[in-house]
Structure 1
Amino acid sequence: MAPDPNPLPAGGERELRGRFSHIDTWVFDLDNTLYPQTCDLWPKIDARITLFMMRLFGLDAISLRALQKHYYERYGTTLRGLMTEHGVDAEHYLDYVHDIDRSCLDRNHSLAEAIAALPGRKLILTNGSRHHAVATAKQLGVDHLFEDIFDIIAADFVAKPEEAAYERFFRHLKVDPSRAALFEDLPRNLVVPHARGMTTVLVLPGAGENVEREAWEIARGDEPHIDFATDDLATFLESLTS
């Protein structure tokens, strides 16, 4: 069972705004968070990862998909698994898998206005590359709203959900987690941030949208590390400043 996507606590929008009144840093995951999860962007990246592994190992896609997902679950990213166990060059990998067509993304004016209205700093925290984050945010029309991007390279290739990835993010960008909110589409990536004091928001697929997920990526709905859940990021953010 997924969390109730209704973001409003019992007291309505006023209480919701109160729960975020101390926040001065707004942190957003990129893939499947800033853009709709039904967009084909992530499947394109996923397919490029498989193709990269096919060329690396000389095996067919069916043989490699299980290994790809094993590395993804164990290390946070397939890249980390390939680096650790096969010595893959990270920058070559990132350039290859992010070489995709982003035309499926339309400019999201409502999201841009909602992010712009948030008081304080706005940051992107991604397991992808800075180049991918900039290109994707530009396609969405929100690239100019973010102070900085903390990518997998800045994290020294230690990926979310590892605690070290968040600690490096906090330290590098001087973020006080107790005054920060994190928006993420993967429940496990909210465990450490919640423990460190961040206000956590799980971004779900839109109502009626069918999104392919691994079993371990699906929230049960009663996780203590998820403070809020929403299936409409722009509307949720608007309710914080309306």
Structure 2
Amino acid sequence: MVQVPDISRFAHVTDWVFDLDNTLYPHHTNLFSQVDARMTAYVSELLALSREKARELQKTLYREYGTTLNGLMNLYGIDPDDFLMKVHDIDYSWLKPDPVLGAAIHQLPGRRFIFTNGDRTHAERAARQLGILDHFDDIFDIVAADLTPKPAPAPYEKFTSLHSIIGTNAVMFEDLARNLAVPKKMGMTTVLVVPNNFEPVFSEIWESDPDEEDDVDYVTDDLAGFLTRIVTASR
């Protein structure tokens, strides 16, 4: 499941693109569970639903609209700024600094980006807590994407156009295979980041991507180690 990178596949890369949640920080930190719980609470309060019913609807929106936010905007016309502020009001101390990851990202040749369905403030707080924020050239968030989430093609097209990224010269790291389909079509090398000691049952069934296997070039449960191998071989 976890693969050693073929260094020749990365020698030409000039742009390194990283998802944030469960990618730049590991799944086992469970940071996103706080965001998930706050989204459930938001839906519950908005629609006067029990927690159980709110969570059921939240997951339905996620499946059908790509993000809970997108679904709530389309169906209920909510204020996205209010939603993003409330669901990202979390405790970032759960994240521990990762100097090995930071060193590897810092040494990658070319530009480095965070591309997230979350907002910039959340990305900055999480990356700062990890000790890696200063190693990135820019953060492309859900607001920059006109509130259209991955895996829709539009945010990828806007992101690559904004930064003049040529797909064949880029690599994207993601924890959801469905979010690698468009980058793969653009010519990017794709890397799926899975939890350490990955088991297929780690996620709920609605998060699995059995139809997206062909869009994944590499799989790793150790992002820092994967990048370190690339950096070391390129010296």
Shorter-chain TM-score range: over 0.9
* 8 Å CA contact retained: 1:178, 1:196: yes
Q: CA deviation at 1:75?
A: 1.3
Q: What is the rounded CA distance, in whole Å, between the counterparts of 2:212 and 2:41 in structure 1?
A: 37
Matched, 1:178 2:168: yes
* Cross-structure match for 1:22: 12
Q: What is the rounded CA distance, in whole Å, between the counterparts of 1:185 and 1:43 in structure 2?
A: 15
* Cross-structure match for 1:106: 96
Amino acid at match of 1:231: D
State the percentage of identical aligned residues: 47
Matched, 1:5 2:2: yes
Q: CA deviation at 1:6?
A: 2.3
- 1:143-162 matches, within 5 Å, as 143-162=133-152
Q: SS state of the match for residue 171, structure 2?
A: strand
* Cross-structure match for 2:159: 169
Structure 2: gaps (5+ residues) = none
Q: CA deviation at 1:40?
A: 2.1
* Cross-structure match for 1:66: 56
Matched, 1:41 2:31: yes
* 8 Å CA contact retained: 2:176, 2:192: yes
Q: What is the rounded CA distance, in whole Å, between the counterparts of 1:35 and 1:166 in structure 2?
A: 22
Greater helix fraction, Structure 1 or Structure 2: 2
Q: What is the rounded CA distance, in whole Å, between the counterparts of 1:210 and 1:224 in structure 2?
A: 17
Matched, 1:89 2:85: no
Q: SS state of the match for residue 112, structure 2?
A: strand
Q: Per-residue displacement from partner, 1:112-148 (whole Å, max 9, x unpaired)?
A: 0010110000000000000000000000000000000
Q: Per-residue displacement from partner, 1:175-209 (whole Å, max 9, x unpaired)?
A: 11111100000010001110110100000100167
* 8 Å CA contact retained: 2:181, 2:212: no
- C-alpha distance 208-33 of structure 1, shift in aligned 2 (>3 A): closer
Q: What is the rounded CA distance, in whole Å, between the counterparts of 1:53 and 1:221 in structure 2?
A: 30
Q: What is the rounded CA distance, in whole Å, between the counterparts of 1:6 and 1:99 in structure 2?
A: 36
- C-alpha distance 151-106 of structure 1, shift in aligned 2 (>3 A): same
Q: SS state of the match for residue 181, structure 1?
A: strand
Q: Per-residue displacement from partner, 1:153-195 (whole Å, max 9, x unpaired)?
A: 0000000000111111111222111111000000100011101
Q: TM-score, normalised by structure 2?
A: 0.95
Amino acid at match of 2:2: P
Q: SS state of the match for residue 145, structure 2?
A: coil
Amino acid at match of 2:205: A
Amino acid at match of 2:3: N
Q: TM-score, normalised by structure 1?
A: 0.92
Q: SS state of the match for residue 175, structure 1?
A: coil
RMSD (CA atoms) = 1.6
Moved over 3 A (4+): 208-212, 219-222
Amino acid at match of 1:125: F
Q: SS state of the match for residue 38, structure 1?
A: helix
Q: CA deviation at 1:54?
A: 1.1
How many corresponding residue pairs?
A: 232
* 8 Å CA contact retained: 2:18, 2:172: yes
Q: What is the rounded CA distance, in whole Å, between the counterparts of 2:200 and 2:160 in structure 1?
A: 34
Structure 1: gaps (5+ residues) = 9-15
